[in-house]
Amino acid sequence: MTLIIALGLTGIALGAAAMAADTPATRPAAPAAPAALSFTMKDIAGRDVDLSRYGGKVVLIVNVASKCGFTKQYAQLQALHEKYAERGLAILGFPANDFGRQEPGTNAEIATFCTENYGVDFDMFSKVVVKGEGACDLYKHLVANAPDGEGAIKWNFEKFLISRDGRIVARYRSKIAPDAKELIDAIEAELARPAPSDG
C-alpha cells in the first residue's frame, strides 16, 4: 500500500514538472517585430493591420496626397510595385492632409481616386497625421529614427526605406521621385540582401 501511494505521488510530481516546463514563462519568446514594424495601423478600408506582417520584406513607406504637385508619383510608386513586389518590396501609402490640405477626401474617396487614376494596388492605409504633436506613433518613430536626422516631415510624398531586418536605412524628400536612380539603386541593394534568419 505504501509503495502504491509513493508511486502515485511520484507520478503527480512528474506530471506537475512537465506542465511547469511548458508554461508561457518557460517557452522561448517569439522574436519581437522590428521597431519600425511594431505598429498596428488601419488599412484604407478601416481594418487593423499589424505591420509586423511585412517583416522580411523591403518596405517603402510614403505619405501621400491626391491634390499635390507630387501626386503623379503614384504612377511611379505603382510601377515600382509591379516591378519589385515579387522580389520582396512592399509599398505602404499613408494619406495625410497635413500639407496645404491636399488630401481632403474620405478614405473611400482616396481609394477610388488611386484606383481610377493610377491603378494603385499596393497597400494603402487610412488617413493619418504625420507632423506635429498629433502625429501618429508610426510617423513619430520614423522621424525620430531616420538616418538623415533632418526632423519633421516637410511635405507630401516623403519616403522611408526599411530593410528586410526592419532598419530605417534611408529617407527621401518629396522631390526624389520613386523612379530616381538613387532610390532604385537603394531598393535593389536592399532586395539583394538575404532575409533575416528565423533562427
- Contact indicator for 36, 162 with CB cutoff of 8 Å: yes
**Which residue carries 481632403 as its cell?**
104
DSSP letter string, 88-117: TEEEEEEEB--STT---S-HHHHHHHHHHH
Distance CA 124, CA 91 (A): 8
Q: In 146-174, which positions are buried (b, 16+ CB within 10 angstroms) versus exposed (e)?
A: beeeeeebebbbbbbbbbbebebbbbbeb
- Grid coordinates given for 52: 509586423
114 catalytic, yes or no? Answer: no
Residue 121 — φ and ψ, nearest 5°? -135, 15
Q: What is the DSSP letter of 63?
A: E
Of 41, 59, 65, 68, the catalytic one is: 68
Question: Mind telling me the catalytic residues?
Answer: 68
